[in-house]
Structure 1
Amino acid sequence: MPTYKLCYFNLRGLGEMARIVFAEVGVEYTDERLEREGADWAERKPKTPFGKLPILFVDDVQIAHSRAILRYLGRIFNLMGSNELEAALVDMWIEVLFESAMAYPFNEQDEKKKAELADALWNDNLLPKLAKVNEQIIKSGGPYILGEKLSVADIALFSKFELLKVWFADKSLESVPYVTKMIETLENRPKIAAWLKKRPASYI
């Protein structure tokens, strides 16, 4: 088996999906965390493939970009469905979750306008996506996007959901009960639950 090292900042963000996969499959890896404003990252950034993190090192090979990493791990650890058609569906749902930037208006100084932008992001983008996932879980029979089989699409949704719980804590999820049930089911899987309990305290 190759050796794995995940290099990312000391936060959850786009690196947490890979960490959750490693937790679920029980495979050891090095969880290298850099400070975003630290000297280590400033020195190493020019040496990375595209000047961004996360990067997964598979032995001496570097795989950049969170979705490429997620799909690679999904293929290696049998989390891309049971056949090519299911793998395509996993790809599709990952793209649905990432196809438009989930840019919360952090930098908006006017609090009223910031709230309006956040409401628009929730109502026009995020909640409709969650509704589509909710429909898919119903169609598949649940509890996951592909039915009984966990996939990296579910892990991608879980990672996004952690952000939503912080940024949109005041929003109701009553209209997407199968999504919330899926999140609960995933976070109660024994190995994932153990990771969530022991992972370093960090920003989302």
Structure 2
Amino acid sequence: MPTYKLCYFNTKGLGEMARLVFAEAGVEYTDERIEQADWPARKSEMPFGKMPVLYVDGQPIAHSRALIRYLGRCFNLMGSSDMEAAIIDMWIEVVIEAAMQYPFAEKDEAKKAELLEATWNDHLLPVFTKLNDQICKSGGPYLLGEKLSVGDVVVCAIIELSMQWFPGKTLDSLQLVTKMNDSFKQRPNIAAWIKKRPEEK
């Protein structure tokens, strides 16, 4: 078994997806959490000056989507055919792209409030609505039916972030999405990780 080390900030963000995959797979790894104050001194260590970065036997794999797909292949979470893998890829891209519309850099509070509403109404909610259709088509509870994939991990990680970013919003009207997220959080290894994971700073 290779040795794994994940480098990311002490927050969920784009690093939590990999942590959830490791939890589900029951595979040990080093969860190196770099504090914001230490980041300027550590940035040059990363292949492209960004995180997350996954080290596999010392070999770095940069970019959240690249490393999540790698882990999916390693732990049999990328579907059972090329078509299933493509569907998983599609949902990874779509949900992360929607989440990245969040106005992280906006300083003006009034403008940020306007952009937040647009992020939810024009990007995240339409994607979650399409997700509900996908789960209906597959028979659920997950993207491809009963078998969990890294696509589901990414989707549920983005749902968690979205509920954190938009405390006044809910997905109650999207019953299959809600059921998927609940089913994911109730998986034994995932539930154990959620219970023990460090508090964000």
What per-residue deviation string (whole Å, max 9, x for no partner) do you get for residues 97-147 of structure 1?
A: 123423136734343x43332222111111000011110000000000011
The amino acid that maps onto 1:109 is D
The amino acid that maps onto 1:160 is I
**Matching residue of 1:194:** 192
**Matching residue of 1:102:** 101
Describe how 1:17-166 pairs up with structure 2 within 5 A: 17-38=17-38, 41-100=39-98, 101-104=100-103, 107-111=106-110, 113-166=111-164
Structure 2 gap ranges (5+): none
Conserved? CA contact 2:102–2:116, under 8 Å: no
The amino acid that maps onto 1:168 is F
Q: 2: CA distance between counterparts of 1:76 and 1:47?
A: 25
What per-residue deviation string (whole Å, max 9, x for no partner) do you get for residues 8-43 of structure 1?
A: 1111111100000000010000001111222xx323
Conserved? CA contact 1:144–1:150, under 8 Å: yes
Q: Report the alpha carbon displacement of residue 94 of structure 1 after superposing the two structures with TM.
A: 0.7
What per-residue deviation string (whole Å, max 9, x for no partner) do you get for residues 45-68 of structure 1?
A: 113210001110100200000000
What per-residue deviation string (whole Å, max 9, x for no partner) do you get for residues 56-108 of structure 1?
A: 01002000000001000000000001111111110011111123423136734
Conserved? CA contact 2:163–2:170, under 8 Å: no
Q: 2: CA distance between counterparts of 1:149 and 1:170?
A: 31
Structure 1 gap ranges (5+): none
What per-residue deviation string (whole Å, max 9, x for no partner) do you get for residues 133-162 of structure 1?
A: 110000000000011010011110111111
What per-residue deviation string (whole Å, max 9, x for no partner) do you get for residues 161-198 of structure 1?
A: 11111221212323311111100000000000000000
The verdict on how the C-alpha distance between 1:129 and 1:31 changes in structure 2, with shifts beyond 3 A counting, is same
Q: Please say which of residues 94-103 and 119-128 is displaced more in the overlay.
A: 94-103
The amino acid that maps onto 1:104 is P
SS of equivalent to 1:99: helix
Q: 2: CA distance between counterparts of 1:172 and 1:43?
A: 39
Conserved? CA contact 1:10–1:34, under 8 Å: yes
Q: 2: CA distance between counterparts of 1:19 and 1:172?
A: 25
Q: 2: CA distance between counterparts of 1:64 and 1:188?
A: 30
How many residue pairs get matched? 200
The amino acid that maps onto 1:93 is W
The amino acid that maps onto 1:6 is L
Q: 2: CA distance between counterparts of 1:174 and 1:165?
A: 12
Q: 2: CA distance between counterparts of 1:174 and 1:18?
A: 27
SS of equivalent to 1:57: strand
TM-score normalised to structure 2 length: 0.94
State the identity %: 60
Q: 2: CA distance between counterparts of 1:11 and 1:126?
A: 21
